[in-house]
Structure 1
Amino acid sequence: MAASSPIFELLERNQDIFDNKDVVIVGDILDPMVLSLIKQSKSAVLVCDNYVVCKSMAAMIGQSLDNSIKTIVEYKHVKLVFAPIEDALKEINHIDSLVVLLSKSKQQTLKLINSLKDKYTADTSIYTAGANDGGGKSADSILKVIGLTRKVDLARKCTLFKCTVENSFNTYTAPKDICVSPLGISIKLKQDVAVFSQGKLDNGTAMLIESLKGITPQGKALDLGCGCGVVGITLSKLGFKDVTSSDISAAALTLTKENAKLNECNDIQVVASDMLSSLGNFDVIAVNPPFHVGITTTTAPTVNMIITSKDHLNEGGVMYLVANAHLHYEKYLEETFSKVEIVKKSTTFIVYKATR
């Protein structure tokens, strides 16, 4: 959501949502300029899942954000919370306006709205803002069970709905734990609708883990873009004593920490990061990089990560990277590393092994 984006413009021209109100903003906060909307709010809590965006917003109000999970930054009437919604609840008191910036996941939207329901009063209004092809056009179907819902604004293929809280409701069911056995290792995993791939181990990650078979567990290992934490847990179970799991998402980091504890891998270090920036050097990096930001497809973060990855590998270190075959990352890998192998391949995915 850039400052000139349709969603931002939609919210900006409906400033009455924010002015002199107790405001809570949740969902896909993808641009720090969202701060400009709450200058005249009575109070504002922004629950941000994206570490980079939250760090940028903190800097805009003269504050800093470290790389730990569940971090809170306060300045005047504004509170920034880098944490999953469950851990942000205690930071929220009264809500006049709840603004949900929609992701492509309907279940994630349902989770956010349901998680906050104990904070609603008869004065609470819930707003959803999103691109029509990202759930914005149909968000009224989520809101109508809660109370009177109307379309507030519509522009440039984006929609803003308002709902007045009138009814009690329970429209979200948390996903069940799953059990997986990569490389014959039994792993139990808690699930979260805010974290990629629920209900099963996705095929790309499964191929990535299969590629680690026979690896010598020496040195430092990194599970980059850890998601639910299964790759880092596998590395720990394979014998690595120094494992770091990192992600940009507060929900993913929290889930990874919970799953590491569940599987008795308590020595895994879990830290927030923007890809490799601010991380040290490793002997093994395993990564299944995302190529979506919100509803937009982009390979730029992964390409940049590949270009800088050599500087984060010790001499003789290796990076295992799984990606959709159509993304063609081999060009960037071969330009960066002297040795690049394809260790696994299907019609959909390729696992590359790049050696420094």
Structure 2
Amino acid sequence: MSAFTPSSQILQRHESLFSGKNLLVAGDFHDDYMLQLDTAMTKVHCTLFHIYSHLNDRRQNAVIEFGLLPSESCYNNTDTLIYYWPKNKSEAQFQLACLLNHLAKGTDVFIVGENRSGVKSAETLLSDFGSIQKIDSARRCSLYHFQAESRIAFNLEEWWLQYDLHFEQFNLTVCSLPGVFSQKTLDVGSDLLLNTLLEQTQLIKGRVLDMGCGSGVLSAFSAKINPTVELVSADVSAAAIAATQRTLQANHISGEVFASDVFSAISGKFDFIVSNPPFHDGKETNYNAAETLIKQSKTFLNANGKLCIVANSFLPYHQLLDDNFKRVDVIAKTPKFKVYLAC
């Protein structure tokens, strides 16, 4: 995190706007630029646990918070917001609706993001609620200034998404939020993984870890296949944590759900680790989480424990699995995806 992202670099050109302010920083940021600003107070709301952990180590005088939405204390005395636009427009709508509902009237709002992430849609998204102007454009990013002249209503319950999955033995209700992977329908990779596990239900036993749980599909499925499992679900995303908790609740399943940067907050050993690991960080391809999962899984597996992942066929995981496990099998594949079982 030593180098600043293009979004932060464009903010650097306007640092004087934040001098002496009571600042709140929110959205999809991936550096610690905000900690160097000369503000009266800096509050940072993180929705990603690995970013929160990094900032918490360097907090200086800033207040750093992790969660789905900012707490009330984040808004107290805040006169300026910097919002980093995420890759997902619906996630931006969700977060901004909450922020602009809670911020005091007259708060200066600065919205920054990469053009390819759709930050330009902020102009139409917010035009009905106040005046918005583009104040800079550089490094393929845009920076906007906005002042809300009217409040945007926000009710968290209205943002929940839900769909049902039907299997021969049972049905599942999946709950999700904007920005969570497979928020509206089951993705193709997870579908292949679930159907593969339906044919090998003996794999799902004992203590089970769903790493990168997303909306909790694999977690709920595992508990439905074998109600005796001790279920643990983890993700870096606060929205994913909330979605998995709600999915388990909707299906009357109990389990531990918490934030972890891969294995950073995991303890104990497991009989089965299952994952559809991400390979993107924002818009960028990033194998770090999957590589860490593969390299460290063996430390968290019991004797005869197994790791099962689904991945795009083009991803270079087979060799990495071979380097770290005694036996690796491809137990299902399509032209686009493979399901690996390592033990």
Please report the TM-score for the alignment, with normalisation by the length of structure 2: 0.91
Rounded Cα–Cα distance in structure 2 between residues aligned with 1:226 and 1:79: 28
Instruction: Please tell me the residue identity of whatever aligns with 1:4.
Output: F
2:304 aligned to which of 316, 320, 341? 316
Structure 1 CA distance for aligned equivalents of residues 169 and 205 of structure 2: 20
Aligned equivalent of 1:53: 51
Deviation at 1:300, TM superposition (A): 2.8
Pairing partner for 1:205 from 190, 195, 199: 190
Q: Give the counterpart letter for 1:35 in structure 2.
A: L
Q: How does 1:59-138 map to 2 (within 5 A)?
A: 59-61=57-59, 78-85=62-69, 88-89=71-72, 91-138=74-121
**Counterpart position of 1:296:** 284
Tell me, in whole angstroms, the C-alpha distance in 2 between the residues paired with 1:19 and 1:309. Answer: 46
Equivalent residue in structure 2 for 1:234, among 211, 215, 221: 221
User: Aligned partners of 2:205 and 2:152: how far apart in 1?
Assistant: 52
Deviation at 1:247, TM superposition (A): 0.6
Q: Is the 8 A contact 2:259 2:265 kept in 1?
A: no
User: What is the distance in 2 between the residues matched to 1:103 and 1:27?
Assistant: 6
Q: C-alpha offsets along residues 160-211 of structure 1, whole Å, 9 cap, x if unaligned?
A: 1111212344699625321112564211122200211122111111211222
Amino acid at match of 2:201: I
> 196-205 or 304-313: which moved more?
304-313
Q: Residue 161 of structure 2 corresponds to which residue in structure 1?
A: 176
2:270 aligned partner: 282
5+ unaligned residues in a row in structure 2: which ranges?
Answer: none
**Equivalenced residues, count:** 337
- Structure 1: distance between partners of 2:341 and 2:108: 51
- Root-mean-square deviation (Å): 2.2
Aligned match of 1:162 in 145, 156, 174?
A: 145
> Shift of the alpha carbon at 1:255?
1.5
> Deviation per CA, 1:113-168, whole angstroms, max 9, x where unpaired?
11123323331122111111112344322232222211112211111111121234
Q: Which runs of no fewer than 5 residues in structure 1 stay unpaired? A: 63-75
Task: Give the aligned partner of residue 21 of structure 2.
Answer: 21
Deviation at 1:340, TM superposition (A): 1.1
Are the structure 2 counterparts of residues 171 and 278 from structure 1 closer, same or farther at C-alpha, using a change threshold of 3 Å? closer
Cα pair 2:75 2:103 within 8 Å, conserved: no
The alpha carbon displacement at 1:350 in A equals 0.9
Q: 1:96 to 1:344 in 2, by over 3 A?
A: same
- 1:329 — aligned with what? 317
SS of corresponding position for 2:54 = helix
Distance 2:154 2:140 in 1: 27
Name the structure 1 match of 2:10: 10
Deviations 1:85-128 (A, max 9, x none): 1x634542343222111111111111111112332333112211
TM-score under structure 1 length normalisation: 0.87
| CA apart distance, 1:34 | 2.9
